[in-house]
Amino acid sequence: MRALADWQKLQVNKMYKQAHYDEDFLNSFNTGNDFYLEEVEDRYPDSIKRKRLKLPDVRSVDVSRHFTRLSEMNYSVDIGMYPLGSCTMKFNPKYADYVAALPGFQNVHPLESESRIQGTLEVMYRLQQLLIKISGMDYASLQPSAGAHGEFTGILIVRKFFEVNGQLGNRDEIIIPDSAHGTNPASAAMVGFKVVEVPSNDNGLVDIEALKAAVNPRTAAFMITNPNTLGIFDDQILEIAEIIHNNGSLLYYDGANFNAILGITTPGIMGFDIVHFNLHKTFATPHGGGGPGAGPVAVKSYLREYLPVPVVVLENGKYSLYYNLKNTIGKVSSYNGSFGVILRAYAYALKNGNNLSLNARRAVMNSNYMAKKLSKSFEIPYKSLKKHEFVLSTSRTGRKALDISKFILDYGIHSPTTYFPLIVKEAMMIEPTESVTLKDMDYYIDVMEKSLEVPEDTIKSSPVNTSVGRIDEIAAARNLILKWPDSCENS
């Protein structure tokens, strides 16, 4: 009998097969709706009525089966390792889901009077205080709905700050490193700022000379994340803060990578003025296949008056909503924040307490472990000491990051973030988080290494064990189909 190659053994040992159903669209089931509501009188004029309504016409059992089958065609962090860099896919604890489903919290209307929602406000106030402590800031708002929305809120604060100080016309630029998340320049531009990119130096850090050259009287703020998207802590941060502050500009902290530093250092002590958090990353709230997230913002005391309103305050043992901030930017969300997410994050923070920093430490250990092991087979540019994530390049392996990312899916693991950050060619950005075991990591590393050994046609034809094979993305964009056939056109 012919001996199996090593990579084939792995395949044999770790069978993964995702379900595939040729699932019809809900509007083609036509099994007859069985949701009962009593007959009701209709005495309204036709002039206000629609001509046609065509929603799916299905029984509840079909709805249930449809989504159960679809769910079997979806990978999740409850199934296995999901090390998307900068996404912090850690385990989402079920106690958080449990408390989030308490009817006393779920059934609260946002316009309910403060006296009836002291419990809701208590949770919000306590999370605000926790975030303030964790970030080394002085005040916080829980209102923004996602990380990018937090950035938008923070940059609105920057703008209002210069407006109030009579410098708005002169401060119209925001500086961003070339390694930044795409949301940073997008958020800055949304608020009307011109985006100036500065290159990273040979260590993957901010090039101080380039920063000095970019900083000028028009600079409103510098937006960075530390550790950066390469997973490297920028130890020049105090010098950077000095350069920015000496110029009269503000320093913005993108909190996407907070899981690396929680309990170890704070944006406050690093000299930042504004911070946003991603509760769905650092605080383990489930990301729901794309959202919801939550993006609270915290600021130093001199920016308190600019926060969105209301903020939750505690006076004489009573919680209330405080609106009277002199320079407030106003509102960024319909109501006061994504409470369902806030509550889960609060549960996570309260449960872990002082162990939160142990989670950060384990996350950093795991990242360095994987980086060192993978550095035998892959180039890992920039300095070797990593924080919570690292970026490898597949350039010198002769394999494309895209191909490797598809190959590893066949082994029941999710791929890293690919082709980001933009400054690394054929990039794969890996963030294991504290939730993975040594066995998980060794298996992942094994699969990554095997991806370099398999025959070219094997890797090009992967994945084969997922519910579908490689998808023609160009066709999807060229021949846009954005809804099911037989839709209820207005004709």
Partner 1 sequence: MAVKMTETDEILQYLNIKNDEELFADIPQKLRVSLDLGLPMDEFSLITSIEKSCSNNVSPAMNFLGNGIYDRFIPPLVDEIIGRNEFLTSYTPYQPEISQGILHSLFEYQSVISDLTQMDVTNSSMYDGFTALAEAVRMAYRINGKEEVLVPENIYRSQLSIIQNYVIGLNLKIIKYKFGKDGLIDMEDLKSKISDHTSSIIVANPNLFGLIDENAFTVSEFKKEALLITYYDPVSLGLIKSPGEYGTDIAVAEGQQLGIHMNYGGPLLGLFSFRKEYVHRSPGRLIGLSKDNSGRKAFVMTLQAREQHIRRSRAMSNICSNQALLAVASLAYLSILGSNGMKKLALITMNKSIKLKKELYNAGINTVFKGINFSDNLFYFDGQEKLIRSNISGGIKLSELSDYPGYKNSAFFSVTEKTSDESISRLAKITGE
Give the footprint of partner 1 on residues 159-178 (CB under 8 A): 159
Q: Is 472 in the site for partner 1 (CB under 8 A)?
A: yes
Judged by CB under 8 A, which stretch of 4-12, 36-44, 208-216, 247-255 contacts partner 1?
A: 36-44
CA angle 273/277/279 to nearest 5° reads 165
Single out the residue of 10, 81, 131, 134 in contact with partner 1 (rule: CB under 8 A): 134
The answer to whether 105 contacts partner 1 (rule: CB under 8 A) is: yes
Cα 357 from chain centre: 20
Residues 418 to 457 in contact with partner 1, rule: CB under 8 A: 418, 420, 437-438
Of residues 195, 210, 314, 321, which one binds partner 1 by CB under 8 A?
A: 195
Q: How far is the CB of 462 from partner 1 (least distance, A)?
A: 9
Least Cβ distance, residue 112 to partner 1 (angstroms)? 6
Under rule CB under 8 A, residue 245 binds partner 1? no
Q: β-pairing, 417-418 with 390-393?
A: unpaired
Considering the complex, what minimum distance in angstroms separates the CB of residue 279 from partner 1? 10
Nearer Cβ to partner 1, position 4 or 375?
A: 375
Q: Which is nearer to partner 1, 193 or 444 (CB)?
A: 193
The DSSP annotation for 303-346 comes to GGGGS-S-EEEEETTEEEEE---TT----SSSSS--HHHHHHHH
Pairing relation of β-strands 250-255 and 274-277?
parallel
* Residue 95 near partner 1 by CB under 8 A: yes
Place of tokens 């084939």: 8
What amino acid is encoded at 139 in this protein?
Y
Q: Does 187 bind partner 1 (CB under 8 A)?
A: yes
Any long-range contacts for 393-400 (C-beta under 8 Å, 24+ apart)? 393/424, 393/425, 393/426, 393/427, 393/428, 394/426, 394/428, 395/425, 395/426, 397/452, 399/451, 399/452, 399/459, 400/426
306, 157 contact by CB (below 8 A): yes
- The least CB distance from residue 213 to partner 1, in Å, is 20
Residue 261 in the binding site for partner 1 (CB under 8 A): yes
Q: How far is the CB of 3 from partner 1 (least distance, A)?
A: 29
Calculate the alpha carbon distances from 125 to 9, 120, 139, 317, 343 in Å: 54, 9, 11, 12, 11
Nearer to partner 1, 5 or 487 (CB): 487
Site map 296..335 versus partner 1, x via CB under 8 A: ---------------------------------xxxxxxx
Best CA proximity match to 486, nearest among 26, 3, 13: 26
Site for partner 1 in 401-420 (CB under 8 A): 405-406, 409, 414-415, 417-418, 420
Q: What minimum distance in Å lies between the beta carbon of 301 and partner 1?
A: 18
Among 1, 2, 3, 107, binds partner 1 (CB under 8 A): 107
**Is the bond leading into 144 cis (omega within 30 degrees of zero)?**
no
DSSP string of 408-456?
HHTTT-PPPEES-STTSTTEEEE---TT--HHHHHHHHHHHHHTTTS-H
Q: Which of 11, 128, 141, 145 binds partner 1 (CB under 8 A)?
A: 145
Q: Which of 270, 311, 325, 427 binds partner 1 (CB under 8 A)?
A: 270
Site for partner 1 in 343-382 (CB under 8 A): 343, 346-347, 349-357, 361-362, 364-366, 368-369, 372-373
Helix 339-352 with 356-374: angle, nearest 10 deg: 90
Cα–Cα dist 41/45, whole Å: 13
Among 11, 147, 275, 448, binds partner 1 (CB under 8 A): 147
Q: What is the sign of the dihedral through the CA atoms of 335, 337, 343 and 346?
A: negative
Instruction: Output 57 or 449, the one with its CB closest to partner 1.
Output: 57
Stretch that binds partner 1, among 4-12, 243-251, 296-304, 479-487 (CB under 8 A): 479-487
Rounded Cα distance, 232 and 382, in Å: 9
Q: Which two three-digit tokens encode residue 374?
A: 């993978």
Say whether residue 106 binds partner 1 (CB under 8 A): yes
CB 90 within 8 A of CB 77: yes
- For residue 419, the Cα-to-chain-centroid distance in whole angstroms is 17
Q: Which stretch binds partner 1 (CB under 8 A): 2-10, 214-222, 244-252, 338-346?
A: 338-346
**Nearest approach, Cβ of residue 247 and partner 1 (Å):** 21
Stretch that binds partner 1, among 3-11, 298-306, 447-455, 482-490 (CB under 8 A): 482-490
Per-position x/- string for 11-30, each x denoting binding to partner 1 as judged by CB under 8 A, each - no binding:
-------x-x-xx-xxx---
